[in-house]
Amino acid sequence: MHIGKRIKYLRKEKKLSQLDVCEGIVSSSHFSNIESGRYEASKDILFLLAERLQVPNDYLVLSQSDSEEINRYLDMYEQAFRTGIKESDQFIKKYQQRLTYIPSITQELSYLIIYCSHYLRKGDLSKVEKPYDQISLYLAEYNLKSLSQEVRYKYHYVSALYDFFKRDYSSSYHHFQLALDNVYRQEDQAVCLFNIGLVFFKIKDYYRSLSYVKEAKELYIDLKHLNSTVNAYILIGNIHIELQDYPTAKTMLTKGYDLALKEEFIEEQTKILNNLGTLEQKKGNYDQSIEHFSKSLDKKWAHYDKEDLYDLNSLYSSYFGLLTAHLLNQHFDTLRQLIKQADKYCIDEIQRFKVQVIEAQMEYELGNDQVYETKMEEAIDYFYQHSLWDQLENIGNHFSDYLSSKRKYKKANEYLSIELEVLKKLYKERLL
């Protein structure tokens, strides 16, 4: 990979024109040729450009030189990532400063891919956008076949994850398939199969999802990757919930829970308790649902770091399930108290408006029509403005029907139009 790509990225990151960078060093045309890779820059020019771009000299001069020390750090980060989120967080906290301005472009690319994978696993897209743009710039117009199989795999894997979180499921599936074509370890094959199953789950193609996840589970069992095996049981259980095969769902979730208890996987235990809570909601057993979500929250409070964004998000998921269960059970006094608690653990506006929808539905049940209308209009407007079609899927039609019942026909038609638009958007989103 040519140093010109790095120089171009640094220039754009600092919002500088080509003239801003090259003036007094080389001509604009010569600099343009360096950026495009048509010319090689001399060491003296690279020193001057490094000073102008305010980066260490080695970052431009030694771009083709790998470091054994950096390799050791990359191996440590890779191992931490494969172990878990907490371990990855601890590594970054300790070594991130040392991994700033890695001279070798190849090693920096490997670091950026692991870094993006780490924060995508946490669901923190804000930390991913810039490093992924840098990866894309480095690899733009580059023949991926000339890269090692390992780098090709990692590139397609992180691209698939990024597209998944952006809800571009077609592109995500495409990249996961390309990653599958480049796997260099059986563990990676299992990871790809599991994630392809997750893509199909998101687009509601549950039978194809089940096929991929079952295959991944068998590989995890063979590899004795117990944590991943538990997560496969969780997803299989969720698939059966969606298929309304509740006995099989409970069997799968119980198997996962027993293994998580045996191996002391606290995070997986709380996930399964949440899913068992959802299962009991679907079956109409609201008291049992509340019991499961409450037990999940108790475990989280006992083991989680309340200052950690990932842990806060996890707390929110249990609170949201608990809110839904109390709404369905019409425990409105308890629900009001829980809404105030849950609001403290919302990490973004999306979560706050999801809680507001629960609150609006409670006001509807209590006959407080004006409060219901105001809160629902605010939530629907937010979800619509931010293209959160999945959040609108089940609430727009009910709100339109409500407005019709109140003879507010003009407004009802507006929200019915939104609902139809949402269905079209979701249909396109779920096409592979």
> 330-347: per-residue pLDDT in tens?
999 999 999 998 988 888
pLDDT tens-digit profile of 249-304? 999 999 999 999 999 999 899 999 999 999 999 999 999 999 999 999 999 888 77
Asked if residue 229 belongs to a domain, the reply is no
For the stretch 74-131, pLDDT in tens is 999 999 998 888 899 999 999 999 999 999 999 999 999 999 999 998 888 989 999 9
426, pLDDT greater than 70: yes
Instruction: Render 11-73 in DSSP notation, one character per residue.
Output: HHHTT--HHHHHTTTS-HHHHHHHHHTSSPPPHHHHHHHHHHHTS-HHHHHTTT---HHHHHH
DSSP string, 377-397: HHHHHHHHHTT-HHHHTTTHH
Residue whose C-alpha is closest to residue 327's, from 296, 365, 299, 353 = 365
Alpha helices per DSSP H over 264-348: 266-282, 286-303, 309-328, 332-343
Do residues 96 and 112 make contact, with C-beta atoms less than 8 angstroms apart? no
Each residue's pLDDT tens digit, 185-210: 999 999 999 999 999 999 999 999 99
The answer to whether position 403 is within a domain reads yes
Residues 223 and 187: their CA atoms lie apart, in Å, by 7
The pLDDT of residue 300 is: 87
Q: Note the pLDDT tens digit of each residue in 356-394.
A: 999 999 999 999 999 999 999 999 999 999 999 999 988
Pick the last residue of a domain from 16, 46, 61: 61
Number of domains the chain is built from:
2
Length of the chain: 432
3-class secondary-structure state, position 306: coil
What is the reported pLDDT for 430?
A: 85
Residue 305, pLDDT above cutoff 80: no
- Complete DSSP assignment for 214-282: HHHHHHHHHHT-HHHHHHHHHHHHHHHHHTT-HHHHHHHHHHHHHHHHHHT-HHHHHHHHHHHHHHHHH
pTM listed for this prediction: 0.88
Last residue of a domain, one of 17, 41, 61: 61
CA distance 94 to 400: 53
pLDDT for the residue numbered 307? 62
CATH of the domain at 52: 1.10.260.40
Q: What is the pLDDT of residue 262?
A: 97
Task: Taking the CA atoms of 292, 293, 296 and 298 in sequence, report the sign of the dihedral they define.
Answer: negative
Q: What is the rounded CA–CA span in Å between residue 103 and residue 63?
A: 5
d(CA 238, CA 310): 21
Q: Is residue 55 part of a domain?
A: yes
Q: Please, are residues 188 and 153 in contact by the beta-carbon 8 Å criterion?
A: yes
- Is 374 inside a domain boundary? yes
Q: Quick one: pLDDT at residue 306?
A: 61
Residue 179 forms part of a structural domain: no
Domain boundary (25, 42, 61) is at: 61
Give the tokens for residue 156: 């397609």
Q: Report the distance separating Cα 396 and Cα 393, nearest Å.
A: 7
Tell me whether residue 21 is in a domain: yes
At 332 the pLDDT is 96
Write 282-288 long-range contacts (CB < 8 A, 24+): 282/241, 282/244, 282/246, 283/246, 286/325, 286/326, 286/328, 286/329, 287/329
Q: Is the dihedral of CA 227, 233, 238, 239 positive or negative?
A: positive
| pLDDT (mean) for 308-337 | 89
- Taking only the tens place, the pLDDT of each residue in 123-177 is 889 899 999 999 988 887 667 877 889 889 999 999 999 999 999 999 999 999 9
261 part of a folded domain: no
On whether residue 381 sits in a domain, the answer given is: yes
Q: Where are the alpha helices (DSSP H) in 28-185?
A: 28-36, 43-53, 57-61, 68-83, 85-95, 105-121, 129-139, 149-165, 169-181
| CA proximity to 304, closest of 291, 292, 318, 321 | 318
Whole-number percent of the chain with pLDDT over 90: 82
pLDDT exceeds cutoff 90 at 311: no
Of the candidates 222, 287, 277, 216, the residue with the CA atom closest to the CA atom of residue 250: 277
List the domain range (segments joined by +) for residue 9: 3-61
In contact, 183 and 153? CB cutoff 8 Å: yes
- The answer to whether residue 2 scores a pLDDT higher than 90 is no
CA angle at 139 for the pair 134 and 141, rounded to the nearest 5°:
130
What is the token pair recorded at 10? 């640094």
